Structure 1
Amino acid sequence: MRSHLPRLTMIAAALVSTTALAGQVAVQIKGPDGKAASGVRVSVPELMRSSAPSDKDGIVILKNIPAGDVDITAAPSGFRPIQQRVTVAQNGTATLNFQLEPSDALKRAALANSEPATEHLAQKQAYLNSIKAVKGKKPNIVVILFDDLGYGDLSSYGNRLIKTPRIDAAASQGIKLEQFYSASPVCTPSRAALLSGRYPNRAHAANHVYFPTGHPMATIRRSMGWANALPKDEILLPEILSRAGYATGAFGKWHLGDQAGHRPNDFGFQDYFGILYSNDMKPETLWRNDKVDTPADQTDQATLTERITDEAIAFLRKNAEKPFFAYVPYTAPHLPHHPNPKHKGVSEGGTYGDVIEDLDTNVGRLLQTLRDLKVDDNTIIVITSDNGGDWGGSAGNLRGRKGETFEGGQRVPAFIIWPGVTKPGTVSQEMGMNFDFYATILKELNIPLPSDRIIDGADIRPLLAGGKTPHDFLYYTTVWTGSFAGVRDGHYKFRDIVADPSPLGAGGEAYNAIPSLYSLDKDNESHDVSAKHPEELERLKKQLDAFRKAYQHNPRGWIDPPSVVSR
């Protein structure tokens, strides 16, 4: 058996003699999704005690490593062990890149876990079969959804560097909602809520985001029993509107599953063009309905916003004589940022500003098309974001950002232009959430809500007309586990201890070690007021606990037997 004593003796002598004979090793660790992986311990086996975990940026610096050849290892649970040999120079820094890959055991677990069961497919079909074409004049609907646009990224929300005159002009024609929320601080869950009218937890969509089939992160999701596509028994708004006589089209980012049977055409969209997941995921293939339109190596992200707009405009022109629902979920300003050459270097907000000002131009084109077609006076226009801004974006005066249950993670810009309902130039401080559009549209069309399931959204037409919110409470969900971690009413917000472990490492949020209470009408989460208002903390904590208990008892939110009268 080989003895390591000579090697250890040499290392000990080197350390004692002088630190000049030592250098350091910098390791960048990325998860299977290509993003920084925190909490992954890296070590030098021969030095025994020389180990350290990666920081939030996925970086580990191992100092005082003896000069010469040395092995660097990482063996995080659930992933293949990594070992690389590197040469350390005296007083130098050697660099390594570690990419985590699922272990064989994790892959076997993935094969053993199928997608969550479809439980209410028959009830869904019966409901859709009951919907008849709506008679009379029906409003057109256009939903414009930005990807990771922060609360402070538009000039109408206070940004002084990024100019968005076309979006601002459109907003001035309707109501600006300053207390409006996405149902999650990350992409997939928020989109599931918007289109289903339900908290994303009910649709197996609250655990981080869906990944392309074959992606290592898709394997990890399956191994943990997490869905990687929206269950087929969810009833989405386009399915209902299609049955009601609408032309339905989606143009942009889907992110609710790329598998056959879970794509936009499978959930009621008659026309689709775009990318089935995020623009930072490979491959960057563009789809037209159920076929590949543009191979990944031919996709130009710099002009993708423009191309999405072109497709949406073509849809509007094709369907100008009939009621239409156009869903335009842009891929921008999600990372990576690829400014259109027409806008590159123009914005005072740098590359990020260039991307948003390109969005502004294209939103202007879209809205001008409605005017040119003379259908703007009968079109409901929704402009909002799927969650808070990422790094590079602005949360304005809010705390936190994408991925967090602070306000900056879930409070988003929102404008509604609804002729005959909203008044130009109105600003509302009443709270609402993106799942409210579902119930609001169906109520406007006199279509009953599905009665076999809980619909969390509510009809917000009175709010849009300048009245009060229909909600007593709204709930905040975490990124990885999809836990309900906070609740707010019209004045206060209770934020529970957030422990949201990621399968890639420590993960989660660690900002508050104790439950916190914030006065949202006086302060933007800078000061915990629980000591001053313990009764409010206790009241909201009980409300959150009760909601959690009800959810745990009935996670999918089924009503069995279906109620006769819907909410």
Structure 2
Amino acid sequence: MGSCNFKKQDPANKPNFIIIFTDDQGYSDVGCFGSPNIKTPHLDKMASEGMKFTNFYAQTVCGPSRAALMTGCYPMRNARNDNGDVPHPKLSLSEITIAEVLKPVGYKTGMIGKWDLAGHNPEQFNPNLLPMHQGFDMSFFTPTSNDSRVHLLRNNQLIEKNTDMSTLTKRYTDEAINFIEKSSEQPFFLYLAHTMPHTKLAVSDAFKGKSEGGFYGDVIEEIDFNVGRILAKLKETGLDNNTYVIFTSDNGPWWIKKDHGGHAQPLRGAKTSAWEGGLRVPFIIRAPGKVPAGKTSDLVTATLDMLPTLAQIAGAAIPKDRVIDGLDISDIIHGERTDLDRPFFYYQHHVLRAVRKGKWKLHLPHQPHSTSIVYKKWPIHSAPEDRVLFSKYMLYDLENDLGETTDVSADNPEVVTELVKLLDWAKEDIGHLETRGINAGPLGTEPYFTPNDIIPVKEKSKQ
């Protein structure tokens, strides 16, 4: 496509947004975030030309993290088209996504990759909750995770069963580049949610065995290469100076057998946990002439903040009929502000586990007899030393104890008191365990299915 002539957008017009969202990529699985053996030259350059955030939070598992990103709300607050007893939400059509916020002000919207907001089983998902019903003009995606297999859809049509997963990173990027080319005359929002490095891991032959970081490193280095392809396409199409590109991950890495899981060091914990390694993820944002180059922010920020922030930059309105937990951090991104004092709440599915404010993080006492999946099944996904149940509040000073090794609650009773008040507020307003908060959206069991919309996917994987 290099010979094509593209009509450039007027930089005075609304900017474009691209969110590249990887799956289970750990905090230190990027060179500029400390990886010793995984080479990510394109992401490192992106950080040098933009900003990286070192205290940026997602959620602790796939579906809730995508819900938080799309809606700007803690997942416990989201309205769901299910009874709320499974971790991965079927996001209600009453929720308003980033795409739905941007479309009224002229944005073309595209979703490519992993959706995971209409059901987590590749054979049992709700077709009426797919991207085209949540504000996206085009989509090329898999509705669920790749735990065993991947089926691909374009808009609302199944186009391929049991896809070769080693082709996904490149194919998603090909689709993203095609979307950018076709959208070069109007503002656009592209949500590119890579399937990798969620297991089953897969990588193309061009990257197999190339990384010093092993098989997992191969997968990350292929993602990095394809980030480079997108950045190059923006330059080729004349869109580079009018596009915000964001790179981050949906949660921390799997604690899994060698060579298949990622890395969160120096953070403690991994995916599914409420330790820092479960929710703190790498975040890079680049927009030449808008985001200052080579800067690092240590402010507490989150995927929750993307909806109000992109809305502010685009001149779009955020919903006024519901609570939005995210904050507009556009002035921080643009280097105009260097302070932010806000709490962040750590949820595992529907269980409130901790709160952070400033340097302090307070974990709640655990409820070992709860029937929640968080207590019954999720501990196996953490290292044995991270499965400990707390019998009391545990306070950590993240500024001086990033690895959450030493409880300092006895020395700081006033801090514990302050943070307990925040936790009590979250339980009442957002929710905890079986109690949904006073400002949480409703649960529902109405399936939204219509016979003509159901996509039959019955063929078993041959992988």
TM-score w.r.t. structure 1 length?
0.68
Matched residue, 1:291: 157
Q: Distance in 1 between matches of 2:130 and 2:309?
A: 25
Find the partner of 2:438 among 554, 564, 567: 554
Please say if residues 501 and 508 of structure 1, whose CA atoms lie closer than 8 Å, have aligned partners that are also in contact: no
Matched residue, 2:413: 534
The CA deviation string for residues 418-471 of structure 1, in whole angstroms up to 9 with x for no partner, is 334321000111110101010011112232221110011111012223323544
Matched residue, 2:139: 272
Matched residue, 1:506: 376
SS state at 2:129 partner: coil
Q: Distance in 1 between matches of 2:52 and 2:242?
A: 19
The answer as to 2:225 corresponding to 1:355 is no
Q: What is the 5 A alignment of 1:6-155? A: 137-155=13-31
Matched residue, 1:379: 243
Please say if residues 222 and 228 of structure 1, whose CA atoms lie closer than 8 Å, have aligned partners that are also in contact: no
The answer as to 2:207 corresponding to 1:343 is yes
> Alpha carbons of 1:320 and 1:225: their partners in 2 closer, same or farther (altered >3 Å)?
closer
Deviation at residue 334 of structure 1 after TM alignment: 0.4
Q: Distance in 2 between matches of 1:503 and 1:330?
A: 26
Matched residue, 1:187: 62
Please say if residues 154 and 163 of structure 1, whose CA atoms lie closer than 8 Å, have aligned partners that are also in contact: yes
The gaps in structure 2 that reach 5 residues or longer are: 1-10, 119-124, 256-260, 380-386, 432-436, 443-463
The CA deviation string for residues 276-305 of structure 1, in whole angstroms up to 9 with x for no partner, is 1111154x2100111012122xx1101110
Q: Distance in 1 between matches of 2:276 and 2:84?
A: 32
Q: What is the 5 A alignment of 1:67-466? A: 137-182=13-58, 184-204=59-79, 224=85, 228-257=89-118, 258-282=125-149, 284-296=150-162, 299-391=163-255, 392-466=261-335
Q: Distance in 2 between matches of 1:544 and 1:407?
A: 17
Matched residue, 2:356: 488
Deviation at residue 374 of structure 1 after TM alignment: 1.1
> Alpha carbons of 1:223 and 1:265: their partners in 2 closer, same or farther (altered >3 Å)?
closer
Q: Distance in 2 between matches of 1:532 and 1:372?
A: 57
Calculate percent identity across the aligned residue pairs: 39
SS state at 1:370 partner: helix
Deviates more, 1:328-337 or 1:418-427: 418-427
> Alpha carbons of 1:269 and 1:356: their partners in 2 closer, same or farther (altered >3 Å)?
same
SS state at 1:198 partner: coil
Q: Distance in 2 between matches of 1:503 and 1:407?
A: 20
AA aligned to 1:146 is T
> Alpha carbons of 1:547 and 1:424: their partners in 2 closer, same or farther (altered >3 Å)?
same
Deviation at residue 506 of structure 1 after TM alignment: 2.5
Please say if residues 498 and 508 of structure 1, whose CA atoms lie closer than 8 Å, have aligned partners that are also in contact: no
> Alpha carbons of 1:156 and 1:242: their partners in 2 closer, same or farther (altered >3 Å)?
same
Q: Distance in 1 between matches of 2:84 and 2:17?
A: 39
Please say if residues 64 and 87 of structure 2, whose CA atoms lie closer than 8 Å, have aligned partners that are also in contact: no
Please say if residues 432 and 471 of structure 1, whose CA atoms lie closer than 8 Å, have aligned partners that are also in contact: no
> Alpha carbons of 1:457 and 1:204: their partners in 2 closer, same or farther (altered >3 Å)?
same
SS state at 1:273 partner: strand
Q: Distance in 2 between matches of 1:429 and 1:335?
A: 30
Matched residue, 1:56: none
Q: Distance in 1 between matches of 2:413 and 2:374?
A: 37
SS state at 1:327 partner: strand
Q: Distance in 2 between matches of 1:501 and 1:307?
A: 41
Q: Distance in 1 between matches of 2:358 and 2:54?
A: 13
The answer as to 2:404 corresponding to 1:515 is no
Aligned residues: 404
SS state at 2:128 partner: coil
Q: Distance in 1 between matches of 2:114 and 2:31?
A: 24
The answer as to 2:343 corresponding to 1:473 is yes
Q: Distance in 2 between matches of 1:380 and 1:460?
A: 14
Please say if residues 454 and 557 of structure 1, whose CA atoms lie closer than 8 Å, have aligned partners that are also in contact: no
> Alpha carbons of 1:518 and 1:140: their partners in 2 closer, same or farther (altered >3 Å)?
same
Please say if residues 52 and 297 of structure 2, whose CA atoms lie closer than 8 Å, have aligned partners that are also in contact: yes
Larger RCO, structure (CA 8 Å, separation 6 or more): 2
Structure 1 stretches of 4+ moved >3 Å: 221-228, 468-471, 498-505
Deviation at residue 228 of structure 1 after TM alignment: 4.9
AA aligned to 1:426 is K
The CA deviation string for residues 112-163 of structure 1, in whole angstroms up to 9 with x for no partner, is xxxxxxxxxxxxxxxxxxxxxxx96100000000100000111111111111
> Alpha carbons of 1:394 and 1:485: their partners in 2 closer, same or farther (altered >3 Å)?
same
Deviation at residue 508 of structure 1 after TM alignment: 4.6
Q: Distance in 1 between matches of 2:344 and 2:362?
A: 11
AA aligned to 1:544 is L
AA aligned to 2:425 is A
Matched residue, 2:8: none
Please say if residues 201 and 555 of structure 1, whose CA atoms lie closer than 8 Å, have aligned partners that are also in contact: no
TM-score w.r.t. structure 2 length?
0.83
The gaps in structure 1 that reach 5 residues or longer are: 1-134, 211-220, 559-567
Q: Distance in 2 between matches of 1:490 and 1:342?
A: 44
SS state at 1:438 partner: helix
AA aligned to 2:216 is Y
